[in-house]
């Protein structure tokens, strides 16, 4: 560090200018720690003998939530789903399943065993996502812990240490050590200005030392935390050689490594036993034949007293005259369906960008990662595949399904390649971390979410200024789309949230719409 931290900067850092409570509030407002309301306590008014009919467009989790709650309250619901399956981007791929990517259809050839599945879309449930957890509990969906990080997984970048992979624990231990070393030096300078009491300084220095495993001179000289070169049990552990900070700075991956387990993806995360779609399956079982598959909506007409919906099933068009309509069809697809939405609605629909995301998976012939002390978590690569995830379920069984790539957009490459090219790239990159990778994995599947039939996108992207937050205009358009048309048609789904890509957001958007509808229903009851 050539430039020391000034006292003023440091005061800002410790929150002294606004008080640390202000800093906490700001953190929450920035969406780092989204606060969710208490779990669903929807008390929808029973429509009584009028048996009001509701058309729900799309069997994504927001549509299913709406159908489930409305059916419970006594409404007559029908869910129209264009594809052969429910769940949208909650998609667990198992033996024999069709992956209906346009121009790249695949059938999954994994072994037919309960633990041999791949969550191709949603894969993690944060413990703060109360509404989703509420439904898993209510529907009897068994949960287990999802392991998001294994410190023994790898970090690999062609630019770092000649491309040799190192363990996450080595990278993060050294990175923290060096950073703590710098922090301790900064603190000793600031101490002279006395922004802290002696006790506070001591406490802070203790934290810094512990954070980085500094020695008694507050210097970082390596740490046993990075793993033992030898020994550690029956003999004293021998510390591994340090890696120079300069070498660690040859990669940008540090940014990901140090925040991968914070915020939404911080411990503890959960997953349904047997696949993320267990929640979807439970909703669908509950709703029975109210869910109509292979039923594509072709027209939506909002009227004075309801919504007419036309859909096509097996080449025949049917019309539903519903009292209300809840619509989780992606806005970019709805733009190609006949409708009579108001102009400001349409311009908002056209504004939202469809997200891109790509995942690949392999069946592993053996759980080779477990022989390398890896259980769950994932390796990080500075390459188009970005991540390799090791399944936290099925531990010590013969085989497992691993994630072979996870690209959430913004990078060139993977998603626009042919299936053969995608697989080759996954294998070639995977080999950099696990030398025998190519011979250890088989039966690949790949999914480019922006090319999936009936979806054509991953999570909606409202903000166009990446990292700079929403503009006022974007917020206005968002609120426009959230509001009902004529009090009868509601857009729902994670696309109508400020935190897309999470199941919780989709559920909460449905709850918002249901509560709004209920308010009207009560006013006119």
Partner 1 sequence: MSVNRIVVFAISLLFSAAILSAEEIAREPYNDRYCMTCHGVDGRGNEGVQAPRLAGMPAWYLQRQLKNFRAGIRGTHPQDIEGLAMQPMAAKLSDESIADIVAWVGSWETIAAERTIEGDAARGRNFYSACALCHGDNAEGNEAMGAPALAGQNDWYLLTQLKNFMAGYRGSHAEDIYGAQMRSMVNTLRNEAGIINVVAYINTLPR
**Interface with partner 1 by CB under 8 A: which range of 50-58, 212-220, 247-255, 296-304?**
296-304
For partner 1, the closer of residues 258 and 299 by Cβ is 299
- Among 8, 72, 84, 318, contact with partner 1 (rule: CB under 8 A): 84
Q: List alpha helices for 335-482, DSSP H.
A: 343-351, 419-430, 437-440, 472-482
Tokens 């944060």 belong to 126
- Among 143, 337, 395, 428, contact with partner 1 (rule: CB under 8 A): 337
Handedness of CA 392, 394, 397, 398 (dihedral sign): negative
- Among 89, 167, 354, 511, contact with partner 1 (rule: CB under 8 A): 354
d(CA 311, CA 472) in angstroms, rounded, equals 36
Handedness of CA 429, 434, 438, 443 (dihedral sign): negative
Region 434-463 residues binding partner 1, contact defined as CB under 8 A: 451, 453-454, 456
Q: Are strands 358-364 and 98-99 parallel, antiparallel or unpaired?
A: unpaired
d(CA 178, CA 171) in angstroms, rounded, equals 11
Radius of gyration of the chain (CA): 26
CB atoms within 10 A of CB 291: 22
Residue 496: partners with Cβ closer than 8 Å, 6 or more residues away: 478, 481, 482, 509, 512, 513
Structure tokens belonging to residue 306: 């309801």
CB of 296 to partner 1, least distance (A): 7
- Among 6, 188, 221, 418, contact with partner 1 (rule: CB under 8 A): 418
Q: Is 401 helix (H, G, I), strand (E, B) or coil?
A: strand
CB atoms within 10 A of CB 464: 12
CB atoms within 10 A of CB 409: 16
CB of 349 to partner 1, least distance (A): 7
For partner 1, the closer of residues 96 and 267 by Cβ is 96
273 near partner 1 (CB under 8 A): no
416 near partner 1 (CB under 8 A): yes
89 near partner 1 (CB under 8 A): no
For partner 1, the closer of residues 132 and 334 by Cβ is 334
CB atoms within 10 A of CB 103: 9
**Interface with partner 1 by CB under 8 A: which range of 92-100, 119-127, 144-152, 208-216?**
92-100
CB of 453 to partner 1, least distance (A): 5
**DSSP symbol at 493:** S
299 near partner 1 (CB under 8 A): yes
516 near partner 1 (CB under 8 A): no
CB of 325 to partner 1, least distance (A): 16
- Residue 92: burial class (beta carbons within 10 Å; 0-12, 13-18, 19+): buried
For partner 1, the closer of residues 92 and 168 by Cβ is 92
105 near partner 1 (CB under 8 A): yes
CB of 454 to partner 1, least distance (A): 6
CB of 42 to partner 1, least distance (A): 31
By the 8 A CB rule, do 441 and 364 touch? yes
Residue 343: partners with Cβ closer than 8 Å, 6 or more residues away: none
User: Which string of b and e fits 212-221 if b means at least 16 CB within 10 Å?
Assistant: bbbeeebebe
Structure tokens belonging to residue 331: 């806005």
96 near partner 1 (CB under 8 A): yes
Starting at the edge strand that comes first in sequence, how are the strands of the sheet with 324-327 ordered? 291-292, 76-80, 53-57, 324-327, 489-491
170 near partner 1 (CB under 8 A): no
CB of 298 to partner 1, least distance (A): 4
- Among 86, 208, 328, 349, contact with partner 1 (rule: CB under 8 A): 349
For partner 1, the closer of residues 262 and 442 by Cβ is 442
For partner 1, the closer of residues 225 and 292 by Cβ is 292
For partner 1, the closer of residues 319 and 519 by Cβ is 319
Region 178-197 residues binding partner 1, contact defined as CB under 8 A: none
320 near partner 1 (CB under 8 A): no
- Among 48, 49, 103, 241, contact with partner 1 (rule: CB under 8 A): 103
338 near partner 1 (CB under 8 A): yes
489 near partner 1 (CB under 8 A): no
By the 8 A CB rule, do 308 and 319 touch? yes
- Among 51, 164, 319, 350, contact with partner 1 (rule: CB under 8 A): 350
257 near partner 1 (CB under 8 A): no
- Residue 59: burial class (beta carbons within 10 Å; 0-12, 13-18, 19+): buried
d(CA 39, CA 128) in angstroms, rounded, equals 10
111 near partner 1 (CB under 8 A): no
Region 17-36 residues binding partner 1, contact defined as CB under 8 A: none
For partner 1, the closer of residues 220 and 311 by Cβ is 311
d(CA 350, CA 340) in angstroms, rounded, equals 15
Binding site for partner 1 (CB under 8 A): 84-85, 96-98, 100, 102-105, 107, 296, 298-299, 331-338, 349-350, 354, 416, 418, 451, 453-454, 456
């Amino acid at each position: 560090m050539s430039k020391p931290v000034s006292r003023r900067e440091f005061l800002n850092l410790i929150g002294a200018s606004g008080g640390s409570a202000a800093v906490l509030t700001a953190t929450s407002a920035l969406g780092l720690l989204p606060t969710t309301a208490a779990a669903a306590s929807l008390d929808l008014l029973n429509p009584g003998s009028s048996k009001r009919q509701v058309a729900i467009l799309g069997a994504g989790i927001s549509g299913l939530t709406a159908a489930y709650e409305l059916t419970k309250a006594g409404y007559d619901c029908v869910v129209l789903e264009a594809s052969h399956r429910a769940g949208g981007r909650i998609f667990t791929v198992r033996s024999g399943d069709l992956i209906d990517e346009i121009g790249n259809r695949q059938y999954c050839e994994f072994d037919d065993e309960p633990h041999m599945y791949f969550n191709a879309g949603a894969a993690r449930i944060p413990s703060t996502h109360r509404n989703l957890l509420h439904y898993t509990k209510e529907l009897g969906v068994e949960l287990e812990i999802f392991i998001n990080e294994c410190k023994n997984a790898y970090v690999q970048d062609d630019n770092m240490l000649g491309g040799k992979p190192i363990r996450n624990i080595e990278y993060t231990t050294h990175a923290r050590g060096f950073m703590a070393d710098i922090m301790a030096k900064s603190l000793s300078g600031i101490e002279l200005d006395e922004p802290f009491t002696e006790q506070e300084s001591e406490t802070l220095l203790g934290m810094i030392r512990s954070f980085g495993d500094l020695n008694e001179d507050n210097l970082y000289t390596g740490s046993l935390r990075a793993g033992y070169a030898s020994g550690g049990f029956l003999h004293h552990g021998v510390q591994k050689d340090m890696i120079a900070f300069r070498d660690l700075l040859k990669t940008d991956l540090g940014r990901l490594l140090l925040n991968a387990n914070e915020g939404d993806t911080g411990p503890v995360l959960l997953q349904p036993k047997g696949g993320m779609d267990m929640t979807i399956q439970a909703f669908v079982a509950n709703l029975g034949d109210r869910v109509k598959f292979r039923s594509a909506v072709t027209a939506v007409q909002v009227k004075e007293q309801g919504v007419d919906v036309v859909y096509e099933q097996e080449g025949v068009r049917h019309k539903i005259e519903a009292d209300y309509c809840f619509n989780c069809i992606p806005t970019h697809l709805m733009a190609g369906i006949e409708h009579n939405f108001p102009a400001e609605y349409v311009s908002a629909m056209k504004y939202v960008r469809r997200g891109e995301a790509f995942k690949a998976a392999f069946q592993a012939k053996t759980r080779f990662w477990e022989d390398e002390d890896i259980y769950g978590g994932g390796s990080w690569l500075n390459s188009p595949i970005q991540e390799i995830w090791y399944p936290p379920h099925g531990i010590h069984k013969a085989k497992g399904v691993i994630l072979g790539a996870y690209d959430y957009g913004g990078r060139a490459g993977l998603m626009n390649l042919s299936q053969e090219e995608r697989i080759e790239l996954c294998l070639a990159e995977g080999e950099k971390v696990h030398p025998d990778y190519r011979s250890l994995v088989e039966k690949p599947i790949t999914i480019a979410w922006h090319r999936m039939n009936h979806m054509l996108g991953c999570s909606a992207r409202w903000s166009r200024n990446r990292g700079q937050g929403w503009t006022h205009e974007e917020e206005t358009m968002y609120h426009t789309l959230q509001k009902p048309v004529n009090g009868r048609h509601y857009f729902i789904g994670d696309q109508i949230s400020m935190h897309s890509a999470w199941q919780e957001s989709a559920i909460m958007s449905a709850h918002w719409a249901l509560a709004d509808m209920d308010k009207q229903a009560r006013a006119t009851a």
